[in-house]
Amino acid sequence: MLQTVEHVTSKYPAWSIIWLHGLGADGNDFAPIVPELVRDGWPGIRFVFPHAPVRPVTINGGMAMRAWYDIVGVEIDKRADEAGIRESMAELDALIGRERDRGIPLSRIILAGFSQGGAVVLAHALRLRLPIAGVAALSTYLPLGPANAAELTEAGKTIPVFMAHGRQDPVVPLALGERSCQQLQALGLGVEFKTYPMPHSVCTEEIRDLGDWLSARFSLR
């Protein structure tokens, strides 16, 4: 089981949000967003921020850093390490299982991720055998190409998705995010896609819109 950073908004959380960081960061990266994101009247939430394994990343000169998978070329969607993505999906599945063991049903589990982390949660959601409450994918793209359609489950089709992207993103181009949104929609998923005047980062307006989307998820359960 991956090591995690956890923040709980009440003594008895009713929901879990598992949030994967980006390349070279760790589980502490998005923890400071919790106070800005959480709203009065929301149910208790356990935020789980796992640390990715440390591995060499080819595009960064083979330097070892926390990464969900290797990237072996500048076209990240075509050069992503499939074996690494699938290993991280298995780690994510273990984290989901632990939340179920701690009393949180799948219907109250949300997956979130930024950049590399977002790629992993999107790919994993398509392959889930039972549906979860939703997926939030920030500044990211859908990896694994044609395998997504071949491995898509009926449960995966039902999972609502929130995608957010910077219009000046130099790391994951906006066009790649838009294409990924279109691919998800073609597979039958409902996707809310937002763009913002920012680079490869997170902004206040994005957090507000993510909060609105989460509020809608909470109101359905």
Catalytic residue among 26, 29, 70, 169: 169
Q: How many residues does the chain have?
A: 221
Residue 16 Ramachandran class (φ > 0 left, ψ -120 to 50 alpha, else beta) = beta
**Which residues make beta-bridge pairs with 49?**
5
Instruction: Give the span between the Cα atoms of 118 and 189, in whole angstroms.
Output: 16
* 21 given a catalytic annotation: no
What the block records as the tokens of 14 is 């009713």
Catalytic residue among 115, 139, 165, 180: 115
Catalytic residue among 21, 124, 165, 200: 200
| Dihedral sign computed on CA atoms, order 63, 64, 65, 71 | positive
* 29 given a catalytic annotation: no
Instruction: Give the span between the Cα atoms of 126 and 136, in whole angstroms.
Output: 13
Residue 29: its H or E element: none
* Angle, vertex CA 212, rays to CA 106 and CA 201, nearest 5: 95
Q: Which residues are catalytic?
A: 115, 169, 200
